[in-house]
Structure 1
């Protein structure tokens, strides 16, 4: 199960994305994840995406691969590939390879 909260600041420190993931944690072993934006921005061009549950607790896991911020932003803005809609269903390795 994937919950995609494409709304401003849902993944802010201790926000609704974290709370929702805590309430659904029993399904984490089956792939349940909650995604949200940590800061205000465009619904699917916003590059500050966090994933929960996470070992980072209230802050979540940053989805953008380390050192790939510019490529991540470009991939999200490329509406032809619909990367913004596909990445929650991709592994970290698939995301890295695509961007």
Structure 2
């Protein structure tokens, strides 16, 4: 990750036993463990680019054939979305979530556009 804030959060998540994934890594992890099939999975997506956003998606895990179908399903099942104009507000949200340990039974995805 090129983003300094994402690196900080990545380290904090690692200390509490979670991982910051890309979409590809999250799909690979979910596919490799059959215990996730038909389970409800909560996914937090943090996007950095021209704008900054936070989204929460809840999906029922199924056998995905490709990354595009997985990505489309996540986007179709967003239950909460917030956009930030300033990077500092967005990075504070990332840090707060990691600090509060709100990622139990979730996958955290960072998307640098």
Same-fold call, TM > 0.5?
Answer: no
When the two structures are superposed, what TM-score results if normalisation uses the length of structure 1? 0.37
Which structure shows the higher strand fraction?
Answer: 2
Whichever of the two has the greater Rg, that structure is: 2
- Report which structure shows greater RCO (CA 8 Å, sep ≥6): 2
